[in-house]
Amino acid sequence: MKAFVIDDDKLSVFLTQSILNLDAATQCVDTFLSAEAALDALAALKETDMPDVIFLDLNMPLMDGWDFLDALTSDRLYAEKEFNIYVLTSSLDLSDSVKAETYSIVSGFLHKPISSEDVSLIYSRIELQKKAEVR
Amino acid sequence: MFAFEKPSVLEKLINASLDIFGCVDSSGCFVFVSDAVSYVLGYKSEALHGKHFSSFLHPDDVARTNQFFNEVLSLSHEVNFSSRCIHSEGYTIHIFWSVIWIEDKDILYFVGRDVTDQKLGIQQLQEKDELHRALVEHGTDMLALFDENVNFTYSGGSTERILGYTAESLMGINAFSLIHPDDVEMVQEKLVQALESEEQVTISDFRFLHINGEWRRLETCLSNQLHNPAVKALVTSSRDVTEKYRNRQRLIESEQRFKSLFEYNPDAVFVENREGLILEANQAAEQLLGLPKHEILFKPIFGFLPPEAVAVCDRHLADAFNGNTVKFLLKSDFEDGKLVLEVTKIPVKVNGEVLAVHSIVKDITAATNYHEAVEQHAKKLTTIFESITDAFCTIGRDWKYTYVNSEFERLTNHKKEEFVGKSFFELYQDSSSEIFYKNYLYAMQTGCSVHFEAYSQEYGIWLSIRAFPSEEGLSIYFNDITERVEVQRELQQLSLVARHSTNGVIITNAARTVEWVNDSFTRLTGYTLEEALGKVPAELLQAQHKDQHPLEAVKDEMLRGVPISREVCSRRKDGKSVWFSVQVNPVFGEQGEIVKFVTILTDITERIKSQQELEMLSLVASGTDNAVIIMDVEGLTEWVNVGFTKMTGFTIAEMAGRKPAEVLRGEETEDITLRKLCEKLREGVHFNVMIAYYRKSGEKFWASVDTTPICDKNGNVTRFVAIQKDITFRKEAEENLLKMTQDLNRQNTDLQQFTYIVSHNLRAPVANAIGLANLLTKVGKDSALYDDSLAHLKQSVEQLDIVLKDMNTILSVRDGQGSLELEKIRVKLVVEQALNSLEESLKQCDGEVLFHIADDIEVKANKAYLYSIFYNLLSNAIKYRAIDRKLRVEVKCQASPDKGVLISFSDNGSGFDMAKAKDNVFKLYKRFHKNKNGRGIGLYLIKTHLEAMGGQIEVTSKTGVGTSFQIIIP
């Protein structure tokens, strides 16, 4: 599994990355302290090098998580692309999870901190998905 | 000299002989020549003496004769030959010579005889024979001889050339074997005839077999020469007449053809010569003249013509002989009556010369008569059509105009030519012609006549149209009924007006008794038409309380024909009183006499009542506490009550002729309300406005103004009445309430935002702490990760502490708002304090702060807040300075008497994108710089502090240039 972590909170990034690395299935974790950097990285990646899963924080300066999602949705380059984007936020505000549901490219909504159980659940979901695609 | 010494008998004989006797010596020179030479050749014998014989010979014969002479010299016997000599007069003489050479005497004796005639005879015979042969061989005739059995004994002439048989091949052949079987009998008959009569017989045209098998037509002359001993044969001379026969045959055919064409031509045809004699005439000509052919031929044609036609025909005949084809009409009285003949004269030319003239005469009397009859008929019809006073036209079945009369031209203002031959559709394409088309079509299809009235848009008139169908199409009559229609319409409209008018209408006769009343009269008075008929209206409606109806009083005026207008009180049928405005108009007859009166009643009871009411109301209005204004239709004050003066301080004298709003408006009077006021006045409807007005004293008050339009009977606004109440107290209460609501709203929004902030920012370090604590349980105590996690856990908890401290600060500012104590503070002092606190950081980044603040500028503020504002602004400037240049901060301060103190705080730092930041700049926990440890609380605090002191802050920034804050503190 290749994962992207987008979060401006270095502590949170450290934590998420560490939990992910505990899972054996994790091959590589790329971390980004801003959404812009993550977008640039995606644009530079080849089709085959795309991350299997993206963990996205919402509250970030300048471009926040919503802006990132909007940019992905409106970019024709990713129109056909199926991302596994999980919003990972410290917010307990209900309005955030409701809003996240309106984005079709968002696969799930997680409250920080992420747990190993969350990770293995997400991974197994992605595995199933991949198998279905192969079939 | 010759041997005879003396002239002897012999000598005499010789000299007398017609033959020339003589001798020449061996050289050929004459020794002696007898006298005959002068007779034969024209030379004297003496003249010849000693001359060489050759000098008399024909030059062509000299050589031959010389040769001969030399031969003779070696011979001893007589030799004969002939040669030509030239007569002294130049012509040629043929001489037959007999010569003998006497050797011992060395003399040659000769005798010459003139054989010219004999020679010429032979030559002529030869020539004749030659001529015959040539004639026979090269002539066109075929010659043949037959024995008595008609077998060929000779064939010659051009037989071989014409029939292909050689002379030899025909020898012994019987002639009949080569003659066409059908012709054998005829030829035999002729043969018998020839044998019997011994005369020459001609057998014309029989068929004889050509060697190639084709039959040729021959013409043969047969002569029986059997009994002629020199011939003993049947002599024939034949000629091939096949071509001639064919040509003749063709000629016959063509002649017959033309003959029949001529003979059976339905028109009379004459052939005339130059003098006008009839050379030929056909059957039709016989019929035309009523005479058999023999009485016509070779008679002058003029004999058959009536005298007046002769000159015309003569002239045209001469013209035809000049080579022109002429055609003319001949109308004349013949014996059978008046005839119309169409004559065509065609010259018959042979080699360019006109030999005769063919005259083709066609009797077109009937056709002409018919044509004339039709024309006359048409003329008659035209006269009839023109005499029709209605506009009239005819349309063919093909929808084309066939005729229009002059009235139609006048009606349409178009010429006849513009219609005739044109299609109805071509001329009318607008939709208004639809009704015409439909009616015409109906008439054409059903054969029924139609009558309809229609409006012609094109000519702008009403038409009554009658269309009568016939075999040919339609005859259509138009009548301009515009006037009638318009009068009718006007009448209809008038009657509609009269009938449905809300006014009562009475029509009375000259004696003032009712003839007609309308429905409104019944409604207004209660009397129906039947009840009113024959009554005098004034008596009918006489009010009880009056002795005489007011109209009775003006009776005399009425009868003088003066229009009358009065307001009268009348009595209805049910006894109720009504006020009418009565207008009586006389209607005059042609002689100026009064025939009718038209009386219009208008119910003005309401108006009278309202007038009375108004009078009472004004009594009320003058006594009330509320201000009452009466304005004219323009909105200008006519009257105000005492209440108005009490409320505003303005008296009626000050207000009269002025608009109330113009007088009472002031600084805080809203333009929008004034506009609404004007608008509603214009519309003439009731309305209410709340408006800030000013008393004469300048004191502001709130007024609620109810304006009501007062209308007359016709609904026209005549006045406005405005009732004005002082609602200042109420308005103030309202304003307070509004402010309270706004505050509440803002606080509610703040609270919502605060909750959001707490859920994000307070929870973030908590979540991290939980996560890290969990992580610690999963990693080994000796690993680097364990140490990192532990360090991070500590950091998280510290963060949590910071946030909680922030919360505390914010809450304390917000809570303190209501009871905040403000004191006069010198701005410069506070700025210096903030600068001192951050001096260390400034030095580190080598930044400088320039401030231009007058010492005495003071603001009414909370010192701690003001310090916090400057501290935060300055620390932000340091934190977000541009890396590539030295930080430079400029603080300016300026006191404005009406707005307060303006402070501008500008740096040359990294700035931020205004478009991206939008209105989030001053919001809590909003950050605009990556990789900086900002919490997003500084600007929020600045704004909160300022607002707590009633101040404002605005920001402008440009990425890479710097940020500038404008602060206003009242």
Query: What pLDDT was estimated at residue B514?
Result: 86
Residues B315 and B336 in one domain: yes
Query: What does the block give as tokens for A80?
Result: 């056909």
DSSP one-letter string for B337-351? EEEEEEEEEEEEEET
CB contact B432 to A (< 8 Å): no
Q: Is residue B488 part of a domain?
A: no
Q: How far apart are CA B193 and CA B234, in angstroms?
A: 13
Query: What does the block give as tokens for B348?
Result: 């018959």
**Residue B663's CB: how many other CB atoms inside 10 A?**
15
- Half-sphere exposure of residue B246: CA atoms within 13 angstroms, side-chain side: 6
Mutate to test the interface with A, among B754, B756, B759, B800 (most CBs of A within 10 A): B759
In three-state form (DSSP H/G/I as H, E/B as E, the rest C), the secondary structure along B256-302 is HHHHHHHHHCCCEEEEECCCCEEEEECHHHHHHHCCCHHHCCCCEHH
Do residue B930 and residue A34 have CB atoms under 8 angstroms apart?
Answer: yes
Q: Considering only CB atoms, which chain A residues are within 8 Å of B916?
A: 62-63
Query: What pLDDT was estimated at residue A56?
Result: 93
| Strands B594-603 and B504-509, bridge-based pairing | antiparallel
In chain A, domain spans? 2-134
Query: What does the block give as tokens for B850?
Result: 């320039």
Provide the edge-to-edge strand list for the sheet that holds A53-56: A28-32, A2-6, A53-56, A85-89, A106-111
Closest CA to B719 of B803, B781, B790, B632: B632
Closest CA to B692 of B700, B683, B680, B684: B700
Checking if the pLDDT of A31 tops 90, the result is yes
First-last CA distance in chain B: 201
Shortest CA gap A63–chain B (Å): 8
Can you list the positions of beta strands (E) in B633-685?
637-640
Report which of residues B964 and A76 the model is more confident about: B964
Can you list the positions of beta strands (E) in B434-472?
450-456, 461-469
Summarised one tens digit per residue, pLDDT across range B65-74 is: 888 888 888 8
Query: What pLDDT was estimated at residue B931?
Result: 62
Checking if the pLDDT of B1 tops 50, the result is no
Q: How far apart are CA B792 and CA A10, in angstroms?
A: 9
Mutate to test the interface with A, among B927, B940, B957 (most CBs of A within 10 A): B927
Asked if B73 and B108 count as a contact pair (C-beta separation under 8 A), the reply is yes
Q: How far apart are CA B383 and CA B380, in angstroms?
A: 5
Query: What pLDDT was estimated at residue A5?
Result: 94
Please tell me the total number of residues recorded for chain B in this structure: 970
Q: Considering only CB atoms, which chain A residues are within 8 Å of B792?
A: 11, 14-15
Query: What does the block give as tokens for B360?
Result: 């083709």
Q: How far apart are CA A102 and CA B887, in angstroms?
A: 45
Residues 6+ apart with CB under 8 A from A12: A57, A90, A112, A113, B764, B767, B768, B771
Query: What does the block give as tokens for B406?
Result: 């002059």
pLDDT category, B83, cuts 50, 70, 90?
confident
Residues 6+ apart with CB under 8 A from B374: none
Q: What is the mean pLDDT of residues B74-81?
A: 81
Query: What does the block give as tokens for B115?
Result: 């054989």
pLDDT category, B4, cuts 50, 70, 90?
very low
For the CA atoms of B586, B590, B595, B598, the dihedral, rounded to the nearest 10 degrees, stands at: -30
Summarised one tens digit per residue, pLDDT across range B443-486 is: 888 888 888 888 887 778 888 888 888 888 888 888 888 888 88
Do residue B768 and residue A92 have CB atoms under 8 angstroms apart?
Answer: no
Q: Residue B90, class by beta-carbon neighbours within 10 Å (0-12 exposed, 13-18 middle, 19+ buried)? A: exposed
* Structural domain count of chain B: 7
- Half-sphere exposure of residue B871: CA atoms within 13 angstroms, side-chain side: 16
Q: Is residue B937 part of a domain?
A: yes
Summarised one tens digit per residue, pLDDT across range B904-953 is: 899 988 888 887 777 777 777 777 776 666 677 788 888 888 887 888 88
Please tell me the total number of residues recorded for chain A in this structure: 135
Q: How far apart are CA B341 and CA B359, in angstroms?
A: 11
Please give the share of chain B, as a percent, with pLDDT higher than 90. Answer: 1
Coil, strand or helix at B893: strand
CB contact A73 to B (< 8 Å): no
Checking if the pLDDT of B567 tops 50, the result is yes
Residues B844 and B938 in one domain: yes
Can you list the positions of beta strands (E) in B812-959?
823-826, 848-852, 858-861, 888-896, 900-907, 952-958
CB contact B799 to A (< 8 Å): yes
Q: Span A2-134: which CATH code?
A: 3.40.50.2300
Checking if the pLDDT of B718 tops 80, the result is yes
Checking if the pLDDT of B429 tops 70, the result is no
Q: How far apart are CA B97 and CA B79, in angstroms?
A: 8
Residue of B nearest to A58 (CA): B760
CB contact B761 to A (< 8 Å): yes
Q: How far apart are CA B661 and CA B70, in angstroms?
A: 182
Residues B512 and B458 in one domain: no
Q: How far apart are CA B153 and CA B101, in angstroms?
A: 55
Do residue B925 and residue A91 have CB atoms under 8 angstroms apart?
Answer: no
Asked if B264 and B283 count as a contact pair (C-beta separation under 8 A), the reply is yes
**Cα-trace Rg, chain A:** 14
Residues B526 and B582 in one domain: yes
Q: How far apart are CA B888 and CA B527, in angstroms?
A: 102
Closest CA to B95 of B82, B110, B107: B82
CATH number at residue B412: 3.30.450.20
Q: How far apart are CA B659 and CA B34, in angstroms?
A: 187
Q: How far apart are CA B841 and CA B855, in angstroms?
A: 26
Summarised one tens digit per residue, pLDDT across range B507-548 is: 888 888 888 888 888 888 888 888 888 888 877 777 655 555
Mutate to test the interface with A, among B752, B761, B768, B940 (most CBs of A within 10 A): B768
Query: What does the block give as tokens for B54?
Result: 């050759």
Query: What does the block give as tokens for B363?
Result: 């009797």
Q: How far apart are CA B297 and CA B270, in angstroms?
A: 9
Average pLDDT, chain B: 82
Shortest CA gap B768–chain A (Å): 6
CB contact A24 to B (< 8 Å): no
Q: Considering only CB atoms, which chain A residues are within 8 Å of B935?
A: none
Asked if B700 and B718 count as a contact pair (C-beta separation under 8 A), the reply is no
Which residue range(s) make up the domain with B170? 139-247
Asked if A31 and A2 count as a contact pair (C-beta separation under 8 A), the reply is no
Residues B276 and B392 in one domain: no
Do residue A113 and residue B767 have CB atoms under 8 angstroms apart?
Answer: yes
Does residue B970 have a cis peptide bond before it, meaning omega lies within 30 degrees of 0? no
Summarised one tens digit per residue, pLDDT across range B160-201 is: 888 888 888 888 888 888 888 888 888 888 888 888 877 788
Partners of B721 in the β-ladder = B630, B708
Do residue B764 and residue A12 have CB atoms under 8 angstroms apart?
Answer: yes
Q: What is the mean pLDDT of residues B708-717?
A: 84
Q: Is residue B643 part of a domain?
A: yes
Query: What pLDDT was estimated at residue B255?
Result: 85
Q: Considering only CB atoms, which chain A residues are within 8 Å of B799?
A: 11
- Would you say the C-alpha torsion B254, B258, B263, B264 has a positive or negative sign? positive
DSSP H or E stretch at residue B966: strand B962-969
CB contact B794 to A (< 8 Å): no
Q: How far apart are CA B953 and CA B936, in angstroms?
A: 16
Report which of residues B812 and B728 the model is more confident about: B728
Q: Is residue B237 part of a domain?
A: yes
Query: What does the block give as tokens for B343?
Result: 């004559």
Residues B314 and B351 in one domain: yes
Q: How far apart are CA B150 and CA B191, in angstroms?
A: 9
Of these ranges, B539-548, B555-564, B830-839, the one predicted with the greatest mean pLDDT is B830-839
Partners of B823 in the β-ladder = B861
DSSP one-letter string for B845-866? HT-EEEEE--TT-EEEE-HHHH
Q: What is the mean pLDDT of residues B379-393?
A: 79
Residues B537 and B582 in one domain: yes
| Strands B107-114 and B20-25, bridge-based pairing | antiparallel
CB contact B795 to A (< 8 Å): yes
Amino acid identity for residue B839 in this structure: E
Q: What is the mean pLDDT of residues B691-708?
A: 90
Q: How far is CA B207 from CA B157, B171, B182, B608, in A?
A: 19, 20, 9, 143
Domain end: B247, B276, B291, which one? Answer: B247
Whose structure tokens read 């066109």? B140
Of these ranges, B48-62, B205-219, B419-433, the one predicted with the greatest mean pLDDT is B205-219
Do residue B768 and residue A62 have CB atoms under 8 angstroms apart?
Answer: no
Summarised one tens digit per residue, pLDDT across range B799-830 is: 888 888 877 877 777 666 556 777 888 888 88
Average pLDDT, chain A: 88
Q: Is residue B919 part of a domain?
A: yes
**Residue A106's CB: how many other CB atoms inside 10 A?**
22
Report which DSSP code applies to A114. Answer: P
Residues 6+ apart with CB under 8 A from B398: B423, B473
- Would you say the C-alpha torsion B914, B915, B917, B920 has a positive or negative sign? positive
Residues B595 and B612 in one domain: no
DSSP one-letter string for B352-406? TEEEEEEEEEEE-HHHHHHHHHHHHHHHHHHHHHHH-SSEEEEEETTSBEEEE-H
Q: How far apart are CA B303 and CA B276, in angstroms?
A: 10
First-last CA distance in chain A: 20
